[in-house]
């Protein structure tokens, strides 16, 4: 088994070992991976945070030794909460653009080391040390408002529905799985939408009964979710009502309490 870390801003994970293949997920700066297979110029990797698998370009990863990987993986993560900023690679003397949700570990006085290199970051970090509340979830979710929808995306420059949920909850200290159908297996089930509280997750299915969408319950029968863009819509027992399209767009299937 080999190990690695992403030291770039946003890196695609693909379904197959090809640049033309569907993007299924992304890595952000600081994401740790386990390398399970090599194929030409591609690596089949498993993301340490959620065990999600996919192919990535071998040129977009920094290989780590086993000891450093496990040392970093057990270190408390700090997450960048600036929409966008830069990290200075002091060893190579250049800057790396980074986005909301990127990970930095073991930082002291704005400085940290990875793979023998010195880095500096002077922006805002959150650690998730405080018990999460709906207010922190709501404030974090609003940072992504109007981010464009992107299948497989997890950044404010392109994000899908479950990537939005996973990233928001990660920033407040709650680890969720990657896909909506996986997230639906977590938390406590709530029977009726009248019993739902702000911060609960609402799941929606397609005509085949498969869970394909997720959003966060807000106050006043509203939901924030990624559909075309991260947006706020009305929701009831039937589903999501899109005020722009003037119709229901998603059918409510399940409610889960995470907090």
CA pair distance 12, 182, nearest whole angstrom:
20
Does residue 237 have an active-site annotation? no
- Residue 141 in tokens: 């979710």
Q: Of these residues, 6, 213, 237, 250, which one is catalytic?
A: 213
- Residue 16 in tokens: 């197959």
Q: Of these residues, 6, 161, 237, 250, which one is catalytic?
A: 161
The helix (H) or strand (E) run that includes residue 7 is none
Closest CA to 102 of 119, 84, 122: 84
Q: Is residue 34 within 8 Å of residue 45, measured between CB atoms?
A: yes
141: left (phi over 0), alpha (psi -120 to 50) or beta: alpha
Does residue 225 have an active-site annotation? yes
Core vs surface per residue 215-244: b (16+ CB within 10 A) or e: bbbbeeeebbbbbeebbbbebeeebbbbee
> Annotated catalytic sites, by residue?
161, 213, 225
């Amino acid at each position: 088994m080999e190990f690695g870390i992403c030291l770039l801003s946003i890196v695609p994970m693909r379904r197959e070992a090809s640049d033309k293949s569907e993007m299924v997920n992304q890595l952000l700066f600081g994401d740790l991976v386990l390398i399970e297979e090599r194929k030409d110029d591609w690596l089949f990797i498993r993301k340490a945070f959620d065990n999600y698998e996919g192919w990535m370009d071998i040129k977009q990863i920094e290989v780590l030794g086993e000891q450093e990987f496990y040392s970093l993986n057990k270190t408390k993560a700090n997450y960048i909460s600036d929409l966008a900023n830069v990290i200075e690679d002091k060893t190579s003397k250049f800057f790396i653009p980074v986005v909301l949700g990127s990970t930095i570990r073991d930082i002291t006085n704005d400085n940290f080391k990875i793979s023998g290199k010195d880095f500096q970051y002077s922006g805002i970090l959150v650690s998730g040390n405080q018990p999460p509340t709906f207010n922190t979830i709501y404030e974090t979710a609003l940072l992504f408002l109007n981010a464009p929808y992107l299948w497989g995306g997890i950044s404010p420059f392109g994000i899908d529905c479950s990537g939005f949920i996973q990233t928001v909850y990660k920033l407040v200290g709650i680890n969720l799985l990657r896909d909506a159908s996986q997230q639906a297996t977590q938390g406590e089930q709530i029977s009726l939408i009248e019993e739902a509280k702000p911060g609960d997750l609402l799941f929606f299915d397609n005509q085949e009964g498969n869970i394909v969408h997720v959003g966060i319950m807000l106050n006043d029968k509203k939901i924030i979710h990624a559909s075309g863009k991260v947006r706020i819509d009305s929701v009831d027992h039937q589903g999501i009502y899109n005020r722009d399209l003037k119709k229901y767009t998603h059918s409510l299937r399940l409610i889960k309490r995470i907090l």
